[in-house]
Structure 1
Amino acid sequence: MVEFDDYGPEKVFEVYNAKVGMHGFVVIDNTALGPGKGGIRMTPTVSRTEVSRLARAMTWKNALAGIPFGGAKAGIIADDRQITQKEKDELVASFAKALKPVCPEFYVGGPDMNMAEHEMEVYANANGNNMSCTGKPASMGGLPHELGSTAFGCFHSMKVGLKHQGKSVERITVAIEGFGNVGWFMAKFVTEAGGKVVAVSDSRGVIYHKDGLDFEKLASVKKDEGTVTKYGEGEVLPAHEIISIDCDVLVTAAIPDLIGPKDVDKIKAKLIVQGSNIPMSFEDEKRLHEKGVLIIPDFVANAGGVISSWAESIGKDKKFMFKAVEEKIVKNTQEVLTRAEKEGKAPREVAVQIAKERVLGKCKTCRV
């Protein structure tokens, strides 16, 4: 069910194409700051409710990032593990054509779960407008998310959080939920900075080693075997146990609603960096905050992807993009954590308030 409030959503579309079996959604939440910007995910369970929640998160994320985009999100219902690449391309192309009336004037797409550089190329070509999405191949003027922009932002957000706690990355242990684009690059950046990645998960389970995992070996095993659980050393655990690993930092980098009410007391990490979108409810965030766990909210930590999208939309290169990601993420994380401590609030409360202030300054349709 899609919930409407004073900020949006402004538009909700559900589109079909029976011939190719395409069924998808787009929720354009708020366009006060510019066209709605948000990725297109492809999963067998994606729903209007999920897309709507993510679209609102994008409204706050883009506002907090200080870029000229509103918030939106899209989803295509399909299991890409059960279809060929040709069939997947047909679904993406059909979806892009169905959104022509609103894209790119009101909605700009981008990569998300199971949707990467190739799919953005298919989407842009089918839509007929190169500005219809970001994350395209470099040959199309794109800055592919495969460059690691989202994880780069998460990494710098984590460093700010650690400094806030009086720690440094060289002396920490990290557990990473998910080993897709964000998790892969996060493990790389942490390792290169001297931190110790002690656990990583994917859909098949967790690989845990208290002395640390070798990133190059981990990446090779994932590529060759399809799962980190084939690492060969350490302990293999059920996937959900990633949340209860004894570590300094837990990075969420895959699924929404990872942490539920029953999980709050299982978490040992003192810093959670939300590289994934909506990994827990705000109620559970508040409970963890009260227990002394510092949480850097999703739309603060993982805004590197949308900052990269903005850089692509104005024709900048990857050097400009990485510099912009670091500067904006560091500044925003510092502002949120400093103000949260001063006001005695959870970081998300403060981050949402800052984002609302920026949206309301330009919003002509908000009832506030």
Structure 2
Amino acid sequence: MVEYYYHRALVMVEPALLDYLKKHTHLSDKKRTQRVAGILKVMGSCNSSLQFEFPLQRKNGDYEIVHGYRSQHSVHRLPCKGGIRFSNVVDLEEVKALAALMTYKCACSNIPFGGAKGGVAINPKEYTVAELQRITRRYTLELAKKNYIGAGIDVPAPDVNTSGREMSWIVDTYIKTLGYNDLNAAACVTGKPINGGGIHGRVEATGRGVYMTINYFMHDEKWMKLIGLEVGFKNKTAIIQGYGNVGSYAAVYLQRSGVKVTGVLEFDCNLTNKDGIDTLKLQKYKEDNKGSIKGFPGAQETGPELMYEKCDILVVAAMEKAITQDNAGKIKCKVIAEGANGPTTPAADVILRKNGVLVLPDLLANAGGVTVSYFEFLKNLNHVSFGKLSIKFWRDSNTALLDTVEQSLKASNIEAKMKPTPIFESMMSGANEKQIVNSGLEYSMTKACQNVSQAASTHNLELDMRTAAYITAIEKIFVTYDEHGLAL
């Protein structure tokens, strides 16, 4: 799927790349053509992959062989970046595809990383916490032995069935082995808990990024006119497929903006309520109910056909290939936001465009996670929290400013007591880390959306935002390879 989308974009962008190389006046037309072809071949291939196996003794005394993978797709920028997932369906081909997707995602969102991905072929629900910790630490050791982890080499992050807990185990293992003499060892992974060097705003970042992408296009008159929707969120409805970390936060932000969430699909239960589901309460209910949304009061349980109910926005935030040729024609929404990686097959993508559905692709919509991971990476390298050094300075400066105005009024015989408004009071100390992260994420996502929107207009792609996003990524990676030089 990733290769198909990539090559589809190449057909559109190749003439523009040839024009770009005209700046090299010493190259003949034939040499330019060869250089473009060479760079695109390198860009589309996977740089290196690691596959290994190790034994695990289970709690009952049995032994089994665990399979681990890590792929580094592109090293045009270092370090490589990509999550680690625990799934019994993970294999080398899936990891390579997801690593490629990470390359294009980082480029599309202006994040200076290459793409990578890792996985362990287990179902984590079948293992104890102690067994998962031994698996994670051994996986880290295998990566370290092969030089597949490090702040300047390859920086993993959480993915499917992994979280800050696993990242803590990874960084602890790395620091106590290969990285014990490395000042920046904590930057070997992102998505860590706050006390372990993580950053505020990382947990909700991917879901927030999905919401920001929807928000941008829903308020763009051109694209809304093309699909026949009114601009904005007023009187809009949404259905969320996959109520995990990404889907739940996307739902919460949509609800806060006035969107009515009328349906939620999760692996164990599907809920609907035409009057709207309170997503904040549902999120808390899931946490209190051992990860299940089953039995949530005020919503009716329904079957999988809920995904095909009429709505304005459909967020697909579960696993890959959720929308296929068989079910794409049943979908009745106007906007699809891909919170998961690869949820739409190429055949389904064609059907959706023909039906006038605006698909906001994964490499754009769910880039919030890697964007805030980049902020965490910078925080670890700087060894100081964002905003920590300037908080007291800005409070003292703003207090002095108010005092100056008050003294000036008194000098003019005007008695007045200067007091900050509630909004100014909250901003007097400058921004804290979470505010800085959220504003940085919003800027990055908005800029990426603008670039993709512009590419769609420039290449006359109409609703094909996926190809526009790939074109945006390809152009940026191409320039990097061209400027750094390429051995052929």
- Between the aligned partners of 2:451 and 2:434, the Cα distance in structure 1 is 25
- Between the aligned partners of 1:31 and 1:144, the Cα distance in structure 2 is 28
For the 8 Å contact 1:40–1:73, the answer to whether it is kept is: yes
What is the SS of the residue equivalent to 2:157? coil
User: Partner residue of 2:444?
Assistant: 328
User: Partner residue of 2:42?
Assistant: 6
Query: For 1:350-365, what aligned pairs fall within 5 Å after superposition?
Result: 350-363=468-481
For the 8 Å contact 2:237–2:313, the answer to whether it is kept is: yes
- Between the aligned partners of 1:259 and 1:154, the Cα distance in structure 2 is 18
- Between the aligned partners of 1:153 and 1:306, the Cα distance in structure 2 is 10
Q: Displacement, 1:106?
A: 2.8
For the 8 Å contact 1:6–1:366, the answer to whether it is kept is: no
For the 8 Å contact 1:22–1:95, the answer to whether it is kept is: no
Moved more, 291-300 or 143-152: 143-152
| Gaps in structure 2 of 5+ consecutive residues | 4-39, 58-64, 176-184, 225-229, 380-385, 387-432
Read off the aligned partner of 1:27 and give its amino acid letter: S
For the 8 Å contact 1:32–1:70, the answer to whether it is kept is: yes
User: Partner residue of 2:68?
Assistant: 24
Deviation per CA, 1:245-289, whole angstroms, max 9, x where unpaired?
Answer: 211000011211111101111111100011111001233213211
Read off the aligned partner of 1:206 and give its amino acid letter: N
- Between the aligned partners of 2:434 and 2:50, the Cα distance in structure 1 is 33
For the 8 Å contact 1:117–1:145, the answer to whether it is kept is: no
Read off the aligned partner of 1:109 and give its amino acid letter: P
Match 2:112 to one of 63, 68, 80: 68
Match 2:189 to one of 133, 143, 153: 133
Q: Displacement, 1:211?
A: 1.1
- Between the aligned partners of 1:344 and 1:367, the Cα distance in structure 2 is 34
Q: Displacement, 1:232?
A: 3.6
What is the SS of the residue equivalent to 1:236? strand
Deviation per CA, 1:119-141, whole angstroms, max 9, x where unpaired?
Answer: 10001111223221101111222
Moved more, 2-11 or 44-53: 2-11
Read off the aligned partner of 1:168 and give its amino acid letter: G
Deviation per CA, 1:12-49, whole angstroms, max 9, x where unpaired?
Answer: 10122114543211111001022210010111111112
TM-score (norm 1): 0.93
- Between the aligned partners of 1:44 and 1:255, the Cα distance in structure 2 is 13
User: Partner residue of 2:130?
Assistant: 86
Deviation per CA, 1:112-171, whole angstroms, max 9, x where unpaired?
Answer: 111101110001111223221101111222126763011111111001121231421232
- The structure-2 alpha-carbon separation of the partners of 1:97 and 1:144, relative to structure 1 and needing over 3 Å to count, comes to farther
For the 8 Å contact 2:202–2:372, the answer to whether it is kept is: no
Match 2:121 to one of 77, 97, 107: 77
Read off the aligned partner of 1:197 and give its amino acid letter: V
Deviation per CA, 1:189-235, whole angstroms, max 9, x where unpaired?
Answer: 11112211111111113101111101233123322333223224343
- Between the aligned partners of 2:111 and 2:306, the Cα distance in structure 1 is 33
For the 8 Å contact 2:200–2:437, the answer to whether it is kept is: no
Match 2:460 to one of 344, 362, 365: 344
Read off the aligned partner of 2:449 and give its amino acid letter: T
User: Partner residue of 2:293?
Assistant: 228
- Between the aligned partners of 1:251 and 1:72, the Cα distance in structure 2 is 25
- Between the aligned partners of 1:159 and 1:43, the Cα distance in structure 2 is 32
Q: Displacement, 1:365?
A: 8.5
Read off the aligned partner of 2:54 and give its amino acid letter: N
Task: State yes or no: 1:219 paired with 2:283.
Answer: yes
What is the SS of the residue equivalent to 2:124? coil
What is the SS of the residue equivalent to 2:333? coil
Match 2:157 to one of 96, 101, 110: 110
Read off the aligned partner of 1:40 and give its amino acid letter: I
Read off the aligned partner of 2:446 and give its amino acid letter: V
Task: State yes or no: 1:151 paired with 2:207.
Answer: yes
For the 8 Å contact 1:25–1:76, the answer to whether it is kept is: yes
Q: Once superposed, what is the RMSD of the aligned Cα atoms?
A: 2.2
For the 8 Å contact 2:46–2:74, the answer to whether it is kept is: yes
Deviation per CA, 1:61-101, whole angstroms, max 9, x where unpaired?
Answer: 10111111010111111111111111111111111111011
User: Partner residue of 2:264?
Assistant: 200
For the 8 Å contact 1:38–1:71, the answer to whether it is kept is: yes
- The structure-2 alpha-carbon separation of the partners of 1:173 and 1:366, relative to structure 1 and needing over 3 Å to count, comes to farther
- Between the aligned partners of 1:144 and 1:357, the Cα distance in structure 2 is 32
TM-score (norm 2): 0.71
Moved more, 47-56 or 298-307: 47-56
For the 8 Å contact 2:85–2:160, the answer to whether it is kept is: yes
Task: State yes or no: 1:45 paired with 2:99.
Answer: no
Q: Displacement, 1:296?
A: 0.7
For the 8 Å contact 2:205–2:372, the answer to whether it is kept is: yes
- Give the paired residue count: 367
- Between the aligned partners of 2:208 and 2:97, the Cα distance in structure 1 is 24
